[in-house]
Structure 1
Amino acid sequence: MLFNIESHQHDKPVGRIRKQNETLIIRAAEVEFAERGFAGASMSAIAQRAGLPKANIHYYFKNKMGLYIAVLSNIIDIWDASLSDFTEDDDPSEVLPEYIRQKIAFAREYSLASRIFAAEIISGANNMKAYFSDNYHLWFAGRVAVFRKWIEQGKIDAITPEHLLFMIWSTTQHYSDFSVQIAAALNKKEPDEQDYAAAAETLIHVIMKGCGALK
Structure 2
Amino acid sequence: MNRKIRVLVLMGGKSPEHDVSLLSGKQVIDNLDKNKYEISSFIIPKSGKFDFVLFKNLKVDIVFLAMHGSFGEDGTIQGLLEIAGLPYTGSKVLASAIGMSKPVFKKLMEQAKISIPKYLIFEEEDGLDKIFNKFKYPFVVKPANQGSSVGVSIVRERKNLGLALESAFRFGETIIIEEYIKGIEVTCGVLGNKDLIALPVVEIVPQNEFFDYEAKY
TM surpasses 0.5: no
More helix by share: 1
Superposition TM-score, scaled by structure 1 size: 0.26
More strand by share: 2
Superposition TM-score, scaled by structure 2 size: 0.26
Structure with bigger RCO (C-alpha 8 Å, 6+ apart) = 1
